[in-house]
A = this chain, B = another copy of it.
Amino acid sequence: MNNKNIQLNKEGRLRHFLDIEGIKRQLLVEILDAAESFSSVEAQRVKKVPLLRGKTIVNLFFEPSTRTRNTFELAAKRLSADTLNVNISASATSKGESLLDMLHNLEAMHCDMFVVRHAQSGAAHFIAQHVAPHISVINAGDGSHAHPTQAMLDMFTIRRHKQAFADLKVAIVGDILHSRVARSQIHALTTLGVTEVRVIGPKTLIPDISTALGVHVYHDMWEGLREVDVVIMLRLQKERMTGALLPSEHEYYKLYGLTPEKLAVAKEDAIVMHPGPINRGVEISSEVADGPQSVILEQVSNGIAVRMAVMSILMGQSFSSDGEAGP
């Protein structure tokens, strides 16, 4: 997918946010810096800024996800935007034609932004290619392709704890093959210049192109976690268990579940991340999930600030932490 052009406007600024791939480091840093400002807003008594007042943000969820929708809805409301939730069953849009008609209708209602989640890879790109010039699209997860705001909130969380990306070794553990989160994380980490990205998992769940992406592949978790600064666990989709791709839940936990013992192999100050919701005792032990190295709930908080940042940047609204909106 040629997303290099479609995500940027003529001035080279972000218009859509569909995929980390093809976005320059400077634009990613801009998102992280903006999120820093919004993070302080979040901590205030009145958690609201009028930056997107009068804008209408539509949650276009073709795949159900209360959790992700809530974070986008809260981010929009804290920017004072109006929100519209449109849940579409797959059946109603089986024809691409009627999907486009629906989009054009929402455009005609003077909506400003579509937050799209879809089970098919490429859906957000398809929509971005067909919307009117005044509309921005955010990919909130498309198939196994990308989930860029999740990756950016992970980067934000890492930066808060570790400062310079250049010095870091980061391990991503689990079902890399099917994970849109992992794919976006790898692109973000690489663009931001970490020393080393490792992926850890059984052979059946590591895509062949991994080495081409510049990551190091490990099938032994004890080896893979050695001396890393950041451990990113992925959620195990239990439905994959039934296929031949995975051993039993018990066996998986023994090999790839993050326990205090395995975590001890990483650097002493390593942080543990997870996009949630977590499967306790499947990919992570409660001891680790609730332990001192876990930053899992911080990720959730940062998710609001990062989504506020992306939304306001796409709408051309900057924000400084003294509470004043830019031009």
Contact = CB atoms under 8 A, between A and B. Distances in A.
A54 interface: yes
Contact of A104 (B42, B45, B297): B297
Given A47-B54, A278-B101, A301 B84 contact: no
Interface in A210-238: none
A176 B82 CA distance: 37
B56 A74 contact: yes
- How many copies of this protein are present in the complex? 3
A282 B77 CA distance: 41
A130 interface: no
Contact of A71 (B53, B86, B109): B109
A97 B108 CA distance: 40
Given A280-B97, A300-B109, A44 B48 contact: no
Given A82-B74, A297-B108, A277 B101 contact: yes
A109 B47 contact: no
Interface in A275-327: 276-278, 280, 297-301, 303-304
A36 B273 CA distance: 49
Contact of A110 (B42, B55, B102, B107): B42
Q: Is the interface of A mostly helix, strand, loop or mixed?
A: helix
A198 interface: no
A129 interface: no
A307 to B, nearest CB: 11
A209 interface: no
Given A47-B56, A86-B66, A301 B74 contact: no
A204 interface: no
Nearest to A83: B77
Nearest to A48: B54
A195 interface: no
Contact of A297 (B44, B67, B105): B105
A46 interface: yes
A65 interface: no
Interface string A54-86: 111000000000110011011001100010101
Nearest to A132: B297
25 contacts: A42-B110, A43-B110, A44-B54, A46-B54, A47-B55, A47-B56, A47-B110, A48-B53, A48-B82, A54-B78, A56-B77, A70-B109, A74-B84, A74-B109, A98-B277, A101-B276, A101-B280, A105-B276, A105-B297, A105-B300, A108-B300, A108-B301, A109-B300, A109-B304, A110-B304
